[in-house]
Structure 1
């Protein structure tokens, strides 16, 4: 429970200093852990939308939302940390005015937020969120606009995750995998998604040239997965050349590139796999 001295002004000043002290200690602890501060730094709405891809938006209306679900900002990500503690004293007077108003029971207007999945990003009302969290409030009234994204908004807590999402989105826009293929063609290194897209498009170019027929992106994605990816991954598994903890798509890329380096061919057969296997299994 937040303590009270009986003076709203004094209490508001104490509230601000407590919030700043906790923010400074959290940032220091992150540096001592050699952390990138993803766990303490507020998330940027623009970075998240850029990574996931924006499809549409619609106004949801007034809702009461949990303060713990507010993780970022539209334009003030550097002014507050992940728990909306102020990162400087620049707007201290404004913060303390809101704290005094909250402590004396004044009506505080709703904030404005964007919703992406289970996450909320503040458009207007950063100081209201900061003060509410400092005072131990759990819920806040908000005007909510929902954003629909190309990729599912899960696992986006860290900037490294956003980079991976960004490159995966670019790949899926070039190669529109669906269903099982969409789930199976996944990698851990962002740059590998670009390599996969290039491999699929190169395969489609060779196939269209051989068949003298055009292949649209949806057909390209489905046929490559069924005619190239699945058979090759099965051959890799049977030959025992998949690395420890290596994803199927990562194994495919490694073996396909090693195959072309060794024999300058795009065909797949037992001899090819045997030649690649002779180079040793990749350890991770």
Structure 2
């Protein structure tokens, strides 16, 4: 078989592989698109630095600057013209042609192709583990992971905005990460960081009332973190609450425990504190769904005896 026919044969096999991959992704309810580099702007990049020629892992390349529509989530060609281009490159490779390094942006542990999309697709299709690349690294407050989906990037973008608005990284260097579980779960609908900002604003208001003075935003942020968020997280760890909520994060449970603490404190007439709230939340997790449903129905349907 001559090299042109071999390249064409491999391209036809690849097209069937891409079609099967697309069907499987759809059945699994997973997106089958490359990440567009434009999503990275949501992470609030603070600058970039040229890192020169490096050998990078092909599997960590998850997006493209301007050709993300031509390839699927595995960076394989899904358009006819892209597949034709792939076949021509494959033929040149079989003939012994050496390709120049690609150019990429590095964001956390993930890469986006600036130049060399088809060379990347060739490496992906052939199972190549490493590729040479000229790397430009972005300085971002929240890093990407090679397994991130577009929805993950949206959630991390919200976190980056939260850090920008609170300046928590400057006010409390080395602070505990405030991460919600992946989008799509009950606890992690978009907008959870907006709820945290509301917590801080409310805390700022009551600090002002208690201290009879104007409380700055920076004071409110640090006091919220030191006296509300961090103590709750430490109690979550001490009481092993996460074991009862698989797939959740400390930030997920902070919001739930905060609500639980508020309503329980209202019922008892005094603040129960983060330790008791965390223990009570864990006890609630061990109760049967039927018990919880009966309690809810009782509170809604049975009038108190006067």
Q: Is this a same-fold pair by TM over 0.5?
A: yes
What displacement does 1:107 show? 3.2
Q: Aligned to 1:174, which of 165, 170, 175?
A: 165
- Distance change in 2, residues 1:138/1:152 (3 Å): closer
Query: What SS does the corresponding residue of 1:91 show, helix, strand or coil?
Result: helix
| Partner Cα separation in structure 2 for residue 158 and residue 268 of structure 1 | 44
**2:248 corresponds to 1:253:** no
Query: For residues 14-68 of structure 1, what are the alpha-carbon distances to aligned partners after superposition, in whole Å with 9 as ceiling and x for unaligned?
Result: 1221221111111111222x3223xx53222222x13433121111112232322
Specify the alignment match of 1:127 in structure 2: 118
**Map of 1:79 onto structure 2:** 70
Aligned to 2:60: 69
Is 1:36 matched with 2:30?
yes
Q: Which residue of 1 aligns with 2:222?
A: 222
Answer whether contact 1:175 1:200 (CA < 8 A) is retained: no
Number of the residue aligned with 1:269: 271
**CA 20–155 in structure 1, closer or farther in 2 if over 3 Å, else same:** closer
1:21-60 equivalences under 5 Å are 21-32=16-27, 34-37=28-31, 40-47=32-39, 49-60=40-51
For residues 9 and 108 of structure 2, what CA distance do their matches in structure 1 show? 35
The farther-off stretch of 160-169 and 256-265 is 256-265
Give the superposed CA RMSD.
Answer: 3.7
Classify the secondary structure of the residue corresponding to 2:221: helix
Q: Which runs of 5+ in 2 are unaligned?
A: 182-187, 290-306
Deviates more, 1:229-238 or 1:199-208: 229-238
Indicate whether 1:208 and 2:208 are aligned. yes
Secondary structure of the residue aligned to 1:182 is coil
In structure 2, the residue matched to 1:15 is: 10
Q: Counterparts of 2:131 and 2:89 in 1: how far apart (Å)?
A: 14
Q: For the residues of structure 2 that align with 1:221 and 1:81, how far apart are their CA atoms?
A: 42
Structure with a larger share of its residues in helix: 2
> How far is the alpha carbon of 1:232 from its aligned partner?
6.5
Number of residue pairs matched by the alignment: 269
Structure 1 regions of 5+ residues with no counterpart? none
Provide the TM-score with structure 1 as the length reference: 0.76
Per the alignment, do residues 30 and 92 of structure 1 end up closer, same or farther by CA in structure 2, a change over 3 Å counting?
Answer: closer
